[in-house]
Structure 1
Amino acid sequence: MQVIKTNETFDSLDKSKLERMLDIKEAHREGHLTLEEAKERMKKEVGSISPEEFAAAEQLFKERDQDECQNEDVRTMLQLFEGLINPIRPDLPFGHPIDAYLRENDKAKELLDQADALLERTFIPNPWIELMETLMGYKLHFARKQNQLYSTLEQKGFDRPSTTMWTYDDHIRDEMNKAMSLLREKDYDSFPAAYKKMAIVLRDLMEKEELILYPTSLKLISDKEFEAMKHGDREIGFFLIDMPELDAPAKQSKEAHGQSFMAELGALLAKHGMGTGGQDDKAILDVAEGKLTLEQINLLFRHLPVDISFVDENELVCFYTDTKHRVFPRSKGVIGREVRNCHPPKSVHIVEEIIDKFRRGEQDRAEFWINKPGVFIYIVYVAIRDADGRFRGVMEMMQDCTRIRSLEGSRTLLTWDEEQSPAQGSKESESDTVGEDGIRPDTKLKSLLQRYPRLMDDLPTISSKFTLLRSPMAKVILPVATIKMMSERADIPSDMLIGKLESLIASYNKPDRSEEK
């Protein structure tokens, strides 16, 4: 029998029942019981199981085998408890964070059903490419879970999603990438098997989410806490679903919170002789080299061409820059979170090693880079030390250097032409670009954005589904997206979407004459 660890989150549950669950589960895992024998004992000795009881057994009892997160077979786990967990879809208001996850799963299942139908036909690349490019957007679902939902559950003492399920999320993401790569490389013989493997694990994940993760989240997280998650959810974005606009009072509350934070920070800095004692964002602060207001500091951070985050000496995430175009999704749910829980389990040991080396004074800098077709990301970690050399934390800096690496020669004269990524260097056909006859269904979105950059920020005002274009997924979408594809994704008729785009463009100042030549 396993020893129960204390965790007040699950104190109200029947611990003897949980012990029986674990004993049977461990006997099956160690090979003492077959699956059928274990299922039979579960039915007789345990009976029905609530989602939170399943979650508690996972959280409180299980022996923490170092390889367990990597090796757990989710399908076998669900088979063991088959028929004992009652799958009831909760009745939630439109826009509730869990409702959003469930509707995203519905969309993903629709795509998988369409793909299953394609498998029965002669293989034609284009339908598969379009379907897989759409399905790749499901990564936003993972990003919200990992940054928002998991962090809130950790505060409740339930950190299993941050280990087991995060590992499974990443495994599925990798399988999606493998299948998509085969399509791009035109390895059509290998693709069907890769797709089938991906589809199995993706369906498994959604089943476990709906049976365990979401019902447990609804039990542990309060309505007030779910409400607080909504802003962070929108910072990351959603997969193929509409979401209601947040009420104005909530936005005002966010602004008030920001003003309150700046006032408190200003007072704290003034107390220690670092400012004038002002209590608002206009207070002048004596920074190391010069004088700045809190408003100016926030503006500088927001407009940096790099992403920065800061982890203090207690290994808690304290800050990240609120830039418009982030290298990786972030949300305010990471603030106050242990940094080891903000990274995939497979890379936690690297994070811990960096912090340990920095803390001991053995190293001051660690560099990484991600080099994939069409994308080059540079990442550097720097040890932060005070004037006395004491370790005070770690700064992480990320930058998308794709365009920088493509530059050649020199530019010494002022030029106002639009920046182009390497992917935008190829010549497009006239039908793809914005011509004299205006926007057409086959017009490339990339062409529109090159001519009217402000559209990138304004597209979400037409449909929340276009927030995907401000995520890392944009690198996948932009090279191929047309107005027709956009209209289909947003469920807006092409002529109506074109009208909305033309209205937005008309509201801008006319393009420079140099663009019309």
Structure 2
Amino acid sequence: MEQMKDNLPEVDMEKLRIVLDVKERYLSGALPLDEARAILRERVKTLRPYEIALAEQELKTFEDDECRKEDIQQMMVLFQDVLDRSRPDLPEDHPIMCYIRENDAMRGLLKQVEELAQYPVIKNQWLELYDELHKHRLHLSRKQNQLYSILERKGFDRPTTTMWLLDDFIRDEVRDARRLLEEDREEEFIAMQPVIVADILDLIEKEETVLYPTSLAMIRPDEFEEMKAGDREIGFAWIKVGAGNRTEESKKPLPATEAAGFASDLAALLGKYGFTGGSTPGQLLEVATGQMTLEQINLVYKHMPVDFSYVDENEIVRFYTDTDHRVFPRSKNVIGRDVKNCHPRTSVHLVEEIIDKFRRGEQDEVDFWINKPGLFIYIYYVAVRDEEGRFRGILEMMQDCTRIRSLEGSRTLLSWDKSNKAASKHSDAPYSAPATTPAPEAPSTTDKQAEGESEYVSCSCMKGASHAPKAPEAPQAEASTSTPAVEASAPERAKTATEITGATRLKDLLEQHSWLKAKLPEINPAFKMLSTPLARIMIPKATVAMMSERSGMPLTELIAQLQRVISEHKG
């Protein structure tokens, strides 16, 4: 694993020891504030945010819940004379600037919370405000699955081990407050509002003071460019982010070790176990029961009707099937990551228990399932062992079994009716089974994170996809309520494709043009989510305006593209 200091400008470690010593003595009351500031001015002079992060990473022992307990305002008072807190000058679509823009939007919502708390409770007003606060989960999910992941690989794992707990604590605080409101426990609900405001502002301050500046110092521009696709898939809270194009600089080929994708990873894995020759296009590989080219192997995995993830015997995530219909979004940043770091610390013990029992041979399999109205997701883990019985890792299988569970009677004759899921994907027939059949969200590891309520554990580190936990109330599901568009009236829904407006419902478009869903990802990659099980939740509620917000495309451009695709198909 890389060391954090190797990914930063040269740092004077002795200076950092002085910083930690002054900080600890000040917090314990052994050093007055004026004296502590004087020492810092004289001996430290200037302090970069990443130097604080490095000091915590390298010189301080881990403490449970330390991020939540630390008073960031107190730290700012101590370091105000030496710490650089300038706001970065970045393009609006830069991953870090997206986080900062979301924080600015959250500050506006928190002002509304403070203002509304002064008046008698009007339930609908608060519910609308909490609908907006709920979108903060998208912000947290991107951090945990995208940003924490790459920082961890570079040796900075404090966000994973400390800040993630604070993220989840705040997520649960907002959820619990809403429940109080729904249960008409108004006094308790109002009493929670100052606490929620203070805790969220504390998190924002910690992000902007240390996390984001440190990320900018450690992550290369080309790596930020690579992050953008995963960020768009997870989604954004309150802000619009265009699809954008990679800069010419970012299009330059990466070093082979970084540019290697799914195919090269699989080839290396096959080579490790004696199946050589995979690097030559078209060359057959001797697999266990047959011969296949690497391209064929990739295609088989790409079309698997179920999702697979593999964690090796060293507890490193090595592989997942990147299918269009996957149950939960996943990010390639999980590859090469310790599976335990793909989960919040509150659920790591479950991951460790599964691995331990599999490794010891006490258990060979365990399963979980998510059962909600109109949705049944099955998750299964099996210990992978070689011919000698040695533990070689864990295979996770996940499947949306909603339709399977609903089947009755028998079918023994070929039928191409709408219940045949395959028919709707590439057919122009007047139906769209996937639009009404499949549906949820979050990396297997994400269910725990996004909802904070599900009990199953995912070893695939997707989160959200990747902090195991983008699970089921996934950010994608949130997209269905993210835009305050007015529901279309019956006359509006009856309009033809050339009269598409922001209020036009996606469901109505797909009923008129069943082939359209397969074309939507060509308009914007964000629409690939409509081929996942989340579609059942998203499609009935989504309007074109919601699609615009979700994808980051201007509404007029989206409408024009929809009309173009429909017109070309008719032609």
Same fold (TM over 0.5): yes
Q: 1:16 to 1:241 in 2, by over 3 A?
A: same
Measure the CA separation in 2 of the matches of 1:233 and 1:124: 35
Cα 1:471–1:169 shift into 2, 3 Å: farther
- The equivalent position to 1:50 in structure 2, one of 44, 48, 51, is 48
Distance 2:259 2:84 in 1: 43
Distance change in 2, residues 1:33/1:479 (3 Å) = farther
8 Å contact 1:78–1:208 — kept in the other structure? no
Q: CA deviation at 1:212?
A: 0.3
For residues 23-69 of structure 1, the C-alpha deviation after alignment (integer angstroms, 9 at most, x for no partner) is 3444466xx429xx66444312224532122212321232333x344
> How far apart in 1 are the matches of 2:104 and 2:259?
36
- Please say if residues 242 and 463 of structure 1, whose CA atoms lie closer than 8 Å, have aligned partners that are also in contact: no
Residue 394 of structure 2 is matched in structure 1 by: 394
Does residue 444 (structure 1) correspond to residue 505 (structure 2)? The answer is yes
Once the two structures are superposed, the pairs formed by residues 229-268 of structure 1 within 5 Å of their partners are 229-239=227-237, 240-243=239-242, 244-246=244-246, 262=263
- Kindly provide the amino acid, as one letter, of the partner of residue 164 in structure 1: T
**Distance of 1:477 and 1:466 partners within structure 2:** 11
Aligned pairs for 1:98-497 (under 5 A) are: 98-119=96-117, 123-124=121-122, 128-181=126-179, 191-194=189-192, 196-239=194-237, 240-243=239-242, 244-246=244-246, 262=263, 269=270, 274=275, 277=277, 279-371=279-371, 376-402=376-402, 404-405=404-405, 407=406, 409-410=408-409, 412=411, 414=415, 415-417=417-419, 418-419=433-434, 420=436, 431=490, 434-435=493-494, 439=500, 441-449=502-510, 452=513, 455-456=516-517, 459=520, 478=539, 480-486=541-547, 497=558
Amino acid at match of 2:321: T
CA distance 1:165–1:278, change in 2 (3 Å): closer
Q: Offset of 1:467 from its aligned partner? A: 7.4
**2:564 paired residue number:** 503
Query: CA 1:75–1:492 in structure 2 vs 1: closer, same or farther (change >3 Å)?
Result: same
Distance in 1 (alpha carbons) for counterparts of 2:305 and 2:11? 50
Q: Provide the C-alpha distance between the structure 2 equivalents of 1:216 and 1:203, rounded to a whole number of angstroms.
A: 19
CA gap 1:446/1:69 in 2 versus in 1, 3 angstroms: farther
Q: Distance in 1 between matches of 2:517 and 2:190?
A: 35
The reply on whether 1:95 has 2:156 as its aligned counterpart is: no
Relative to structure 1, the CA distance from residue 187 to residue 445 in structure 2 (aligned partners, 3 Å threshold; closer, same or farther) is: farther
- C-alpha deviations, 1:440-468, integer Å up to 9, x for none? 55443344446556555655666677678
Deviations 1:418-440 (A, max 9, x none): 2535999xxx9973984256655
Could you tell me how far 1:246 is from its partner in structure 2?
2.8
1:72 aligns with 2:66: no
Shift of 1:111: 3.8
Supply the distance in 1 between the matched residues of 2:74 and 2:330 (Cα, whole angstroms).
31
Q: Is the 8 A contact 1:146 1:162 kept in 2?
A: yes
Alignment partners' CA distance in 2, 1:75 and 1:434? 51
CA contact (8 A) 1:285 1:292 kept: yes
Task: Identify if the C-alpha distance between structure 1 residues 465 and 175 changes in structure 2 by more than 3 Å, giving closer, same or farther.
Answer: farther
Distance in 2 (CA, whole Å) between partners of 1:113 and 1:457 is 42
Change (3 A) 1:281 1:237: farther
Structure 2 counterpart SS, 1:311? strand
- Alpha-carbon distance change, 163 to 130 in structure 1, aligned in 2, over 3 angstroms: same
CA contact (8 A) 2:180 2:189 kept: yes
Letter in 2 for 1:86: D
SS of the aligned residue for 1:46 comes to helix
- The 3-state SS of whatever aligns with 1:88 is coil
Deviates more, 1:240-249 or 1:333-342: 240-249
Kindly indicate whether the alpha-carbon contact (under 8 Å) linking 2:278 and 2:294 is maintained by their aligned counterparts in 1. Answer: no
Question: What's the secondary structure of 2:245's corresponding residue?
Answer: coil
CA separation in 1, counterparts of 2:305 and 2:194?
Answer: 40
- The one-letter code sitting in structure 1 at the alignment partner of 2:136 is Y
The residue that corresponds to 1:514 in the other structure is none
Q: Aligned pair 1:33/2:25, yes or no? A: no
Could you tell me the TM-score, scaled by structure 2's length?
Answer: 0.71
Determine the structure 1 residue equivalent to 2:422: none
1:153 Cα deviation (Å)?
Answer: 1.8
Q: For the residues of structure 2 that align with 1:336 and 1:423, how far apart are their CA atoms?
A: 28
Is the CA contact (8 Å cut-off) linking 1:10 and 1:56 kept in structure 2?
A: no
What does residue 21 of structure 2 align with? 23
Matched residues in 2 for 1:261 and 1:487: separation?
Answer: 31
Specify whether residues 466 and 429 from structure 1 end up closer, same or farther in structure 2 by C-alpha distance, changes over 3 A only. closer
CA distance, structure 2, for counterparts of residue 195 and residue 474 of structure 1: 34
Deviations 1:170-216 (A, max 9, x none): 22222343345556677777655555544432222222111101111
* 1:341-394 CA distance string (max 9 Å, x none): 222122222222222222222221122334566655433221111111111111
Which segment drifts farther, 391-400 or 204-213?
Answer: 391-400
Aligned partners of 1:440 and 1:483 also within 8 Å: yes
Cα 1:81–1:462, aligned 2, differ >3 Å: closer, same or farther? farther
Identity of aligned residues (%): 47
Mapped partners of 1:131, 1:469: distance in 2: 27
**When the two structures are aligned, how many residues end up with a matched partner?**
496
Q: 5+ residue gaps in structure 2? A: 420-432, 441-486
Deviations 1:235-260 (A, max 9, x none): 43434331422358967959x98888
| Residue identity matched to 2:21 | D
Q: Secondary structure at the match of 1:318?
A: strand
Q: Quick check: 1:236–1:471 contact (8 Å CA) kept in 2? A: no
Q: Which deviates the most, 498-507 or 349-358?
A: 498-507
The higher-RCO structure (CA 8 Å, 6+ apart) is: 2
2: distance between equivalents of 1:344 and 1:62? 21
SS at 2:168 equivalent:
helix
User: C-alpha separation between the residues in 2 aligned to 1:449 and 1:435?
Assistant: 12
- Residue ranges of structure 1 left out of the alignment (5+ in a row): 511-517
Q: Distance in 1 between matches of 2:185 and 2:24?
A: 42
Give yes or no for contact 2:263–2:294 (8 Å, CA) kept in 1.
yes
- What is the identity, as a one-letter code, of the residue corresponding to 1:242? V
In 1: Cα distance, 2:298 partner to 2:206 partner? 41
